[in-house]
Chains A and B, each alone.
Chain A
């Protein structure tokens, strides 16, 4: 009798899985600390960009703890490797959920989409600083999502404003080279809207994951010679794009990256040849001399407790963004504590904190961030807080600002956000909150 028994096989697997679950639950969470899961990617095609962000994020949490925590409450955190893969990200989220996290920042638009449904049920704040769903600005539908500092619609809008300044866009050609994922597709809707308004022609050029093969894409650019190329890439895709642009001799001056496509790992592989490449900065660039950097070096790196391999990474574009992301998480917790008491706050309380964030220039300066973060104020209607940015340009060695401030035009964005959020609410059968009654 050699019959194969399917169901018996499942038995073994289930027994193994059972043991796994038991161990999971044994990891209890200390009641005197606030838990923040840190979803990162330090391996794979996106690691060059994932690592500095993760280092900055973790370092800032370490710094807060070294200074005594948030109003005396320490922050516990644990890293989990997602590899920028949505299914692994969801697994990480589920794994760390048992520790009662208050806020999560997955650094992936794909994972954000997957978690959006889950966070409301689990009462965990989903902070997506400079990424995520553009329509989640509308807090009446997306109560738990906070795309702080800027969405992709804001980014695309500011880039269009910038190139418009160089001359009317009527009849011009703009090509969008984008990562073929929710991240890269996010700006399309806004660019299409803007193309109608301004009369430019939009060419969409998708690049498939991981983005190391772009010969065909850049051949098209060589043929069509668009006036501007917007780059919406991530990880190795960015440096590949810049190298391909050099290969087809497309002028870097006419290339503009989103804030995830304009950091050191993107331009350094092509060295001097990437000179002139631009990007919209998310309020900050590679500032290195603000008090927070000095504190970081003094408190952590002198004692060998820093996360980054080299202390010259402190202050790189993505490191700064990681720090700022962690800072906003901490400020949301602080805000929650100001209402509910200086204790271990819950996810629901932190949600209130994130919705009532108010950081003016003085406060940001006091935190040691100088002018790296623009004054921001969130509300039920506006979960983005601020949508300002300026262009920075790579000079071969360093980033420097090359434009004035832009602010995304809410006259265009506002109705789009409302329509999109409303469609989501209908699809998911969510009853919208009445923002006039929230306080």
Chain B
């Protein structure tokens, strides 16, 4: 009844092609952005920003990057953690070796380094597919793990292999308070989500999707598989690299190669699968599911006033979390984003379904 596009006529090509063609969606999105940028910084608690929103947003960004590769281009990757690590360590080296470099420039350059390595490790995708490609990207993961743990130059000869980010500063202003960090990350995520959303519905995104659906057919209709696959690897690694730099600088502050080990790659792949392959929205939903849900499960007994031992709470967290993953994959194998789309379809017919 409320959510219906009746009477909204598209009279120009521009209005037909805009990002959110339905007026209600536009109002919602604008309202939401105003809330996220204008209201949230004033009402959120420190815990909310530091421990929930910042990691959630950064991992959403990484999931968007991975989704471009896996969801849109169909190239399975287990090397996301490695590309995040490259972003993080290039940002660290840039910051340490070239002082006074602008933070945004550092992050974008970190993304560039990740792009180069990503495209390099994407080359095998021209010959191999599916599980075999997954194993090839796994090689990237282990190589990068080894590189940053063993080659001391990258960690600036730190004795423990642990490096820490310099104080965050942008145009002379420190980014110290939790709300500032949140806004900084939010701005990055919004810009990249917008870029990604527009990329995937443009010519390049269509070439990715054609490659994903059937690479021979895509080649027949004139899409160059090399360009499509390598560009997907490049764009994906860029976004993942920036996310890695943000994760290290804004969230962790001090990190070791273990922060970007193979478990991180799996975690991101699960986010994309549970959230929805080939969906920007799904990346956010998946990240929320993987990042926020375990924390809530962990704290739920406390809120309900049920006295349980720490170990028991932890075991319950794992069990319920695992059960929920199975549940959602059975109910909707195409991910949470698909559930959302189904809900919207229903809402358009409500209250008079056929």
Does B281 make an interface contact (CB < 8 A)?
A: yes
Asked if residues A182 and B162 are in contact (CB atoms below 8 Å), the reply is yes
Asked if residues A14 and B53 are in contact (CB atoms below 8 Å), the reply is yes
Asked if residues A18 and B46 are in contact (CB atoms below 8 Å), the reply is no
Q: Closest residue of chain B to A307, judged by CB?
A: B309
Q: Closest residue of chain A to B51, judged by CB?
A: A94
Complex CA–CA separation, A114 to B251 (angstroms): 10
Complex CA–CA separation, A378 to B46 (angstroms): 33
Q: Which segment, of A78-86, A141-149, A297-305, faces chain B? A: A78-86
Q: Closest residue of chain A to B176, judged by CB?
A: A121
Q: Which segment, of A19-27, A234-242, A262-270, faces chain B? A: A19-27
The smallest C-beta distance from A30 to any residue of chain B, in angstroms, reads 16
Say which residue of B32, B64, B299 sits within 8 Å of A11 (CB atoms): B32
Asked if residues A428 and B167 are in contact (CB atoms below 8 Å), the reply is yes
The smallest C-beta distance from B241 to any residue of chain A, in angstroms, reads 19
Residues of chain A from 41 to 98 with CB closer than 8 A to chain B in the complex:
42-43, 47, 51, 54, 79-81, 83, 86-87, 90-91, 94-95, 97-98
Residues of chain B from 291 to 349 with CB closer than 8 A to chain A in the complex:
292, 295-296, 298-299, 303, 309-311, 313-315, 318, 337, 340-341, 344-345
Given contacts A17-B292, A21-B44, contact A113 B256 (CB under 8 A): yes
Residues of chain B contacted by A42 (CB below 8 angstroms): 309-311, 314
Asked if residues A4 and B160 are in contact (CB atoms below 8 Å), the reply is no
Given contacts A4-B279, A117-B164, A185-B160, contact A9 B340 (CB under 8 A): yes
Say which residue of B22, B48, B193 sits within 8 Å of A7 (CB atoms): B193
Residues of chain A contacted by B126 (CB below 8 angstroms): none
Q: Which of A5, A22, A43, A113 has the most CB of B within 10 A?
A: A5
Say which residue of A6, A18, A87 sits within 8 Å of B283 (CB atoms): A6
Q: Which of B50, B162, B166, B288 has the most CB of A within 10 A?
A: B162
Does A420 make an interface contact (CB < 8 A)?
A: yes
Residues of chain A from 374 to 432 with CB closer than 8 A to chain B in the complex:
420, 427-429
Does B350 make an interface contact (CB < 8 A)?
A: no
Say which residue of B53, B159, B160 sits within 8 Å of A17 (CB atoms): B53
Say which residue of B45, B96, B149, B284 sits within 8 Å of A6 (CB atoms): B284
Given contacts A91-B295, A427-B96, contact A10 B284 (CB under 8 A): yes
Does B121 make an interface contact (CB < 8 A)?
A: no
Does B131 make an interface contact (CB < 8 A)?
A: no
Does B21 make an interface contact (CB < 8 A)?
A: yes
Asked if residues B193 and A21 are in contact (CB atoms below 8 Å), the reply is no
Q: Closest residue of chain A to B261, judged by CB?
A: A209
The smallest C-beta distance from A58 to any residue of chain B, in angstroms, reads 10
Does A355 make an interface contact (CB < 8 A)?
A: no
Binary CB contact string for chain B from 209 to 224 against chain A (1 if under 8 A, 0 otherwise): 0000000000000000
Asked if residues B29 and A8 are in contact (CB atoms below 8 Å), the reply is yes
Given contacts A4-B281, A80-B310, contact A116 B254 (CB under 8 A): yes
The smallest C-beta distance from A78 to any residue of chain B, in angstroms, reads 9
Does A16 make an interface contact (CB < 8 A)?
A: yes
Does A28 make an interface contact (CB < 8 A)?
A: no
Given contacts A43-B311, A113-B160, contact A1 B22 (CB under 8 A): yes
Does A349 make an interface contact (CB < 8 A)?
A: no
Does B60 make an interface contact (CB < 8 A)?
A: yes
Given contacts A81-B314, A113-B160, A182-B160, contact A6 B166 (CB under 8 A): no
Does B124 make an interface contact (CB < 8 A)?
A: no
Residues of chain A contacted by B100 (CB below 8 angstroms): none
Residues of chain B contacted by A54 (CB below 8 angstroms): 310
Residues of chain A contacted by B44 (CB below 8 angstroms): 18, 21
Does A165 make an interface contact (CB < 8 A)?
A: no
| B binding-site residues for A, Cβ under 8 Å | 5, 19-22, 25, 28-29, 32-33, 35-36, 40, 43-48, 50-53, 55-57, 60, 64, 96, 149, 159-162, 164, 166-167, 176, 189-190, 193, 196-197, 252-256, 258-259, 261, 276, 279-285, 287-288, 292, 295-296, 298-299, 303, 309-311, 313-315, 318, 337, 340-341, 344-345
Q: What are some 21 contacts across the A-B interface (CB < 8 A)? A: A4-B280, A4-B341, A7-B29, A9-B280, A13-B285, A13-B288, A21-B44, A23-B299, A23-B303, A24-B48, A42-B309, A94-B46, A97-B46, A97-B47, A98-B46, A110-B258, A133-B160, A182-B256, A209-B258, A428-B164, A429-B166
Q: What 6 pairs across the A-B complex have the smallest Cβ distances?
A: A21-B48, A13-B288, A6-B280, A42-B311, A9-B284, A9-B281
Other A-B pairs, 5, CB within 8 Å; known A24-B47, A86-B255, A429-B166:
A4-B281, A43-B318, A81-B311, A98-B46, A209-B261
